[in-house]
Amino acid sequence: MALVNIVITEKNNKLLAKTYLFNTEKIVDFHLRTGSTTVTEFFYSEVEGRRTKTNKYVTTLSKAAFEALFDIATYESRLDLNITQIFTPTVFDVVRVQNFAVKGIQKCWDIDGSSSMVEYDRGNFETIKVNAAHTLAEIAGAVSTSVSVAI
């Protein structure tokens, strides 16, 4: 299990230009787009509302490059994040350090170059989003280097 950076060009057949950190455990399957050697389509299982939903994402990574993302081994990691807001879906402004199990992170995306939105599966069909005062690179680097880390 790992969190991996993937640049997305489509989500559910709609154009999108965004970089996410995805949890490799939640990637259901992937394949090259028909007629392409450089575009990979993958299906990702995530909780939306109180339902598990599988979304289709498209990236310009080749199938070999996409497979290489799974070679990263990070097990049962925990991560301390400095958070400033919690969306449940009501928005709460907070300033605190919160510890997360990496396996519960569904995905992350950049907000403004210095902070990221983290989508987290709390279990029992509850998903929260938190605004973390960390870049995607800081989160990915912390997850890949330690079993329990504060950034």
Quote the pLDDT of residue 60: 94
Digit-coded pLDDT (tens) for 93-122: 888 888 787 888 889 999 999 999 999 887
Query: Is the pLDDT at 70 greater than 80, yes or no?
Result: no
Q: Mean pLDDT across the chain, nearest whole number?
A: 83
Q: Is 40 exposed, middle or buried (0-12, 13-18, 19+ CB in 10 A)?
A: buried
pLDDT at 71: 62
Show Cβ contacts of residue 64 under 8 Å, excluding neighbours closer than 6 positions: none
Which pLDDT tens digit goes with each residue over 20-63? 999 888 887 788 888 888 999 988 988 877 788 889 999 999 88
